[in-house]
C-alpha cells in the first residue's frame, strides 16, 4: 500500500475511530485500525467486536493498492503532531511508514488478513422508519438509560415497532422515558440498542441514513460511514404496564418556572418537595441534614386543593432540558403516586420520593 493523503483527512478519520478501538490490550488486533485501498478509495475500520465503524474517503492520491493495520492510538498521536499538508503512508516489511517533509515514523503492523470482519448488510432487513427522527429522539431519552445494571436490557433503549406506530423507550427503574411516533411501519419488531451504541450514533449521524438489522446487530449506513453494534438480547420491561392509565390532574406549566425554583433548592439538595397551589408553586428542600431551602414562584393554576409531591430534581431537569417547547404538562395522581411529564410526543413517568 502506498498513498498520499491530506493530514486533516486522516485526523478526522482516526479521531472518529478512537471510540471503537480496544484500548485495554495493545497486543490484540482490535487495538489497531484496519486500512484498505479499494476501488479508488481508502477504507478505515475499527472494532472491539461489540461495536464497529468503517469510514471511507476518496480524498487521496493512490500509488499502490493494499491493506495494512496500525495501532489506532499511536497513529492518531503522530498525525496530530504533524503539520497541515499531505502525508505519505506506505507499507514495507510488516511495518507502516508515515512521512511528511523531514518527519518519518515506522509502526509495526498485525496481519491485516486477520482483522475481524464486519457484519454484511446488503441482504439484511431494513428498518422502514424515519431514521433522522429516531436519531434525534435518542438525545431525549439518553439520560434515562441505566448504567451497569445487572439486567443487561436496562443498559439500553427499546425500539418497539408496531404496525401503526413505534415507540422509543428507556428506564432506570426510577423513571421511564418514551417518545411515541404515530406512523405506520407495517410490522411488529423489538430491538434493544446498547447505551454505548446510542452515544456513538449521536456523534456520527445528522441526516437521513439507512438502518439494517438482524437478531444480533443494528447496522447504520451513510455516505461515508458504516456503523454496527451488537443488540442487547433480553426482555425489556413491559413499559405499557408502567404508564398510568388515567391522570387525575393535568397542569400546563412554563418550564422556566420549574427550572427557576428547582435551581434555588439545588444549592442545598437535589431532593425537593413541590407544592402546587392555586396561585403559586412552592419549592422546599427534602434534606437529610439540618440545611433548609425554600422558594416560590407565582402562577395561577386551575386547582382548588393543594397538591404536593417529592421529587429527585435531576429527573425533572433531565426532562426539561430536552424539550423544545416553552410549556409542558405535569400529570399528577396524588401525593405519592407516579407522575407524568409530557411535551409533544415525549413523556417521562417518574417515581416520586415518598413524603
Predicted local confidence at residue 316, as pLDDT: 97
The sign of the torsion formed by the CA atoms of 279, 267, 340, 141 equals positive
**Domain 244-350: CATH superfamily, name plus number:** DNA Polymerase III, subunit A, domain 2 (3.10.150.10)
Predicted local confidence at residue 129, as pLDDT: 86
Fold of 128-204+230-241: DNA Polymerase III; Chain A, domain 2 (3.10.150)
What pLDDT digit, counting tens, does each position of 138-163 carry?
Answer: 999 999 999 988 999 999 999 999 88
Short-list 198, 228, 224, CA closest to 216 = 228
Per the rule left: phi > 0, alpha: psi between -120 and 50, beta: everything else, 40 is left
Cβ atoms of 311 and 138 closer than 8 Å:
no
E strand intervals along 277-320: 280-285, 294-298, 307-312
The span from the CA of 50 to the CA of 44, in Å, is 17
**CATH of 2-114 given 3.40.50.300, 3.20.20.140, 3.40.50.150, 3.10.150.10:** 3.10.150.10
Predicted local confidence at residue 255, as pLDDT: 96
What pTM was computed for the model? Answer: 0.92
> What's the Cα-to-Cα distance from 80 to each of 9, 190, 242, 321, rounded to whole Å?
11, 42, 50, 35
Q: Which residues of the chain have pLDDT under 70?
A: 186
What pLDDT digit, counting tens, does each position of 241-271 carry?
Answer: 999 999 999 999 999 999 999 999 999 999 9
Predicted local confidence at residue 149, as pLDDT: 87
Predicted local confidence at residue 216, as pLDDT: 95
Predicted local confidence at residue 170, as pLDDT: 97
Contacts with 196 (C-beta within 8 Å, 6 or more apart), sequence order? 50, 51, 229
Predicted local confidence at residue 287, as pLDDT: 78
The span from the CA of 184 to the CA of 161, in Å, is 9
Predicted local confidence at residue 256, as pLDDT: 96
Per-domain boundaries in the chain: 2-114, 128-204+230-241, 244-350
Which DSSP state fits 83? P
Amino acid at each position: 500500500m502506498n498513498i498520499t493523503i491530506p493530514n486533516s483527512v486522516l485526523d478526522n478519520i482516526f479521531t472518529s475511530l478512537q471510540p471503537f478501538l480496544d484500548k485495554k490490550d495493545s497486543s490484540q488486533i482490535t487495538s489497531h485500525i484496519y486500512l484498505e485501498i479499494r476501488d479508488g478509495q481508502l477504507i478505515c475500520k475499527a472494532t472491539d467486536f461489540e461495536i464497529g465503524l468503517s469510514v471511507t474517503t476518496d480524498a487521496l492520491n493512490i500509488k499502490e493498492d493494499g491493506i495494512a493495520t496500525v495501532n489506532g492510538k499511536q497513529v492518531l498521536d503522530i498525525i496530530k503532531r504533524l503539520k497541515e499538508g499531505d502525508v505519505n503512508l506506505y507499507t514495507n516489511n510488516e511495518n507502516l511508514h508515515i512521512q511528511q517533509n523531514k518527519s518519518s515514523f515506522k509502526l509495526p503492523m498485525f496481519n491485516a488478513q486477520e482483522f475481524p470482519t464486519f457484519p454484511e448488510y446488503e441482504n439484511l432487513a431494513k428498518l422502514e422508519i424515519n431514521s433522522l427522527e429516531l436519531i434525534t429522539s435518542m438525545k431525549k431519552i439518553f439520560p434515562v438509560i441505566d448504567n451497569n445494571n445487572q439486567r443487561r436490557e436496562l443498559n439500553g433503549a427499546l425500539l418497539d415497532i408496531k404496525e401503526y406506530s413505534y415507540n422509543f423507550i428507556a428506564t432506570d427503574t426510577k423513571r421511564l422515558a418514551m417518545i411515541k411516533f404515530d406512523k405506520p411501519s407495517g410490522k411488529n419488531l423489538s430491538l434493544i440498542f446498547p447505551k454505548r451504541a446510542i452515544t456513538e450514533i449521536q456523534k456520527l449521524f445528522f441526516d437521513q441514513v439507512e438502518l439494517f438489522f438482524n437478531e444480533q446487530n443494528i447496522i447504520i449506513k451513510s455516505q461515508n460511514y458504516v456503523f454496527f453494534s451488537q443488540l442487547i438480547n433480553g426482555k425489556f420491561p413491559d413499559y405499557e404496564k408502567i404508564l398510568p392509565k388515567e391522570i387525575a390532574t393535568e397542569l400546563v406549566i412554563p418550564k422556566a418556572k420549574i427550572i427557576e425554583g428547582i435551581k434555588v433548592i439545588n444549592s442545598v439538595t437535589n431532593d425537593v418537595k413541590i407544592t402546587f397551589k392555586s396561585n403559586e408553586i412552592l419549592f422546599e428542600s427534602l434534606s437529610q441534614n439540618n440545611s433548609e431551602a425554600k422558594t416560590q414562584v407565582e402562577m395561577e393554576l386551575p386547582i382548588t386543593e393543594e397538591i404536593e409531591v417529592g421529587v429527585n430534581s435531576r429527573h425533572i431537569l433531565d426532562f426539561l432540558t430536552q424539550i423544545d417547547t416553552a410549556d409542558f404538562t405535569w400529570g399528577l395522581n396524588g401525593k405519592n403516586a407516579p407522575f407524568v411529564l409530557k411535551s409533544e410526543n415525549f413523556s417521562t413517568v417518574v417515581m416520586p420520593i415518598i413524603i
